[in-house]
C-alpha cells in the first residue's frame, strides 16, 4: 500500500503545471540555442553544448532565449548565449562533455 501511495505522489508531482511549463520553456530555448552553437560545433557536440548553456541559465534567461523561437537568433541573443557559455557551470559542463570552448 505504501508503495502505491508513493507512486501516486510521484505521478502527481510529474503533473505539476510549473514543472511542465519550465520543461516546455527549456525545449523552446533549446530550439533557439542549438542552431547558434551548431554554427561552430558539430552535431552531438552542439547538442551537449546547448544543454550546458541552458543549465547555466536562470529561468528568466531561459525565457529570454525562448523569445527568439521561430526566427534567426539576433545579435543580442547570440551574445547572451556566449555569455552563458563562459559561466563556470557551463565551462565545467563543457569540459565534462568534451565540448571545446567557443571561439571569441
pLDDT value for 35:
96
7 inside domain:
no
How does pLDDT run across 73-95, given as a tens digit for each residue? 888 999 999 999 999 999 999 99
pLDDT value for 8:
52
pLDDT value for 20:
73
40 inside domain:
yes
6 inside domain:
no
Domain that holds residue 67: 17-96
The domain total for the chain is 1
3 inside domain:
no
- Regions in the chain scoring below 50 on pLDDT: 7
62-70 contacts: CB < 8 A, separation 24 or more?
A: 62/25, 62/26, 62/29, 63/25, 63/29, 65/29, 65/32, 65/33, 66/25, 66/28, 66/29, 66/32, 68/32, 69/28, 69/31, 69/32
Amino acid at each position: 500500500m505504501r508503495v502505491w501511495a508513493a507512486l501516486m505522489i510521484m505521478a502527481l508531482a510529474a503533473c505539476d503545471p510549473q514543472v511542465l511549463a519550465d520543461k516546455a520553456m527549456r525545449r523552446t530555448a533549446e530550439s533557439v540555442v542549438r542552431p547558434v552553437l551548431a554554427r561552430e560545433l558539430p552535431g552531438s557536440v552542439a547538442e551537449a553544448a546547448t544543454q550546458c548553456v541552458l543549465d547555466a541559465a536562470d529561468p528568466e534567461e531561459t525565457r529570454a532565449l525562448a523569445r527568439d523561437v521561430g526566427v534567426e537568433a539576433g545579435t543580442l541573443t547570440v551574445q547572451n548565449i556566449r555569455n552563458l557559455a563562459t559561466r563556470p557551470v557551463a565551462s565545467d559542463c563543457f569540459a565534462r562533455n568534451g565540448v571545446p570552448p567557443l571561439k571569441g
